[in-house]
Amino acid sequence: MGCIKCISVWVTLVVMIIGCQELKQDAPIDVKELTISQIHKAYEKGTYNSQQLVSAFLAQIEEYDRKINALTFINPDALSLAKQLDVEYQRTKVFRPLHGIPLIVKDNINTKGLPTTAGSLALQDFIPDEDAFIIQKLVNAGAIILAKSNMAEWAFSPMHTESSTTGTTRNPYNLEHVPAGSSGGTASSVAANLGVIGLGTDTGNSIRGPSSHCALVGFRTTLGLISRSAIIPLFLRNDVVGPLCRTVEDATKVLEIIAGFDPADPITKYSEAKIPDNYTQFLIKDGLQGSSIGVLRELSNDHPDPEIKKLFEKAILDLDSLGAQIKDPIFIPGFSSLRQNQWCSEFRKDLETYLAEYVKNDTLKTLEDIIKVGSSSEFTKEQLKFYANSSGRYENPDVECLDAYTDVRRIAFREAVEKVMDSLELDALIYPSWNNQPASIDSFEVEYKGDNNQIIAPHTGQPAFTVPMGFCKDNLPAGLQFLGRMYDEPILIRLAYSYEQGTKHREAPKIN
């Protein structure tokens, strides 16, 4: 376990040492909390270049990843790609939008020439021939894939991040606790400054949960805004891919690149004519002034941890002081019943479609083939067994499982939420991303409580962003979630950015 990772780190470090002999730099680069704009200013001034920055991040990975175990594979071509971008900038004096920005990619997103395994033994040798649609867009924008990140195997767990290929990822803020799942590797690595920007996927929790647990900004965008093609699915009807970053500005810059229509993902047709010329125009520091925000107490009051409750009440006061009109509480008629009977098991169908289209291996065509290969995780084995014998809606199987635009239960839930928002003229609803603190690494199943991410956004299709809300005892982070109407990313960016700038809760972890 982890052999590929060890070899890739060794090869990359050798290349790094050789490459550094050609570079001249007076002082080491402090990579802690660097943003896209700061990096581009440094490139422009000649403080350092892309090669030097990549080398600095590789050294950071070598020092810290052995403690958090967040990465699965280091890109051996990262330095050569950085060199190409340096040469390009010297020639053109023009930056691409993400020029020379180190990117961490979750291990279920196809990356050309790099393993894409979903943390499984069955796909441990799978190397895609082509990048996923969104990866093509990021690479064309100048991002450098620095590494692939660990994930909960097959994205099954919102609770923790454990795979057969790499093992268990730890929370960099407290190594005895989980980073949640399934995008825990991306979250832990970006939080620990092993890369600048990160990508994750979210079926019910997996961008926002790990972001909340690791003091990051996580965007679950409107279903249909971003392509999911060439990504190993969990439930495609719910799956979203999006950024996990240290700042709202960086997450917005990533969103700006990856949003848009992809013929290979039909649901993205709904986004046409709904995407603004740019999203960065909504990064408004006083964006909370004159806004109206509703407090969804039905979630926030659901047996919260006392420290999370205290942080949430402080967040409400902060929003008020930053100019928002708070409407507290708000009620959604029928909420408790509308949230029920939303989950559908489509894992077999979605996975087998992916295997046929991308893996194209005669010995890996069915879920039974995957089960035959096995897993080192008992949790994963049980999940695979369950999905082998379960499909359709968990309750009332006669109600067809469809996408967020055509499923009658999903539409009813969304209409109920948006009707209340419209009647009260709300810009967003808020609640804690989790009502409880990150679970202990050895007791995650017992301590898995308070996950609010699963309840609204994955089913209704609405966007939901989490932003750092502060820290509990033992240095454990918490997140505040903003829920908006369909395609209201501009409003959520404005609110989240204003809250972030007005509170500055983000702090780097101290990894011992």
391 is catalytic: no
Task: Of 302, 285, 296, give the one whose Cα is nearest residue 330.
Answer: 296
50: preceding bond cis by omega (within 30 degrees): no
Task: Measure the CA–CA gap between 467 and 112, rounded to whole angstroms.
Answer: 32
| CA angle in degrees (0–180, nearest 5) for 50-281-206 | 70
At 69, which amino acid appears? N
Task: Of 444, 421, 464, give the one whose Cα is nearest residue 182.
Answer: 444
* DSSP H or E run through 478: strand 477-483
What is the end-to-end Cα distance of the chain in Å, rounded? 24
- HSE at residue 1, side-chain half, CA atoms within 13 A, is 16
Buried b (16+ CB within 10 A) or exposed e, 279-313: beebbeeebbeebebbbbebbbeeebbebbeebbe
* DSSP H or E run through 80: helix 78-92
Beta bridge partners of 174: 171
SS3 state at 103: strand
Task: Measure the CA–CA gap between 209 and 186, rounded to whole angstroms.
Answer: 12
- Inter-residue contact 246 to 466 (CB < 8 Å): no
Of the residues 206, 211, 212, 300, only one is catalytic, namely 206
- Inter-residue contact 347 to 235 (CB < 8 Å): yes
SS3 state at 111: strand
Of the residues 182, 183, 211, 212, only one is catalytic, namely 182
- Inter-residue contact 284 to 497 (CB < 8 Å): yes
106 is catalytic: yes
Per the listing, tokens 């609110």 go with 495
At 467, which amino acid appears? V
- Inter-residue contact 21 to 185 (CB < 8 Å): no
Which tokens is 18 given?
A: 């050789």
Task: Of 366, 40, 322, give the one whose Cα is nearest residue 196.
Answer: 40
CA pseudo-torsion sign 243, 244, 245, 246: positive
Residues whose CB falls within 8 Å of the CB of residue 327, separated by 6 or more in sequence, listed in order: 292, 293, 294, 295, 424, 426
Task: Measure the CA–CA gap between 431 and 32, rounded to whole angstroms.
Answer: 29
336 is catalytic: no
Of the residues 5, 8, 50, 106, only one is catalytic, namely 106
Residues marked as catalytic: 106, 182, 206
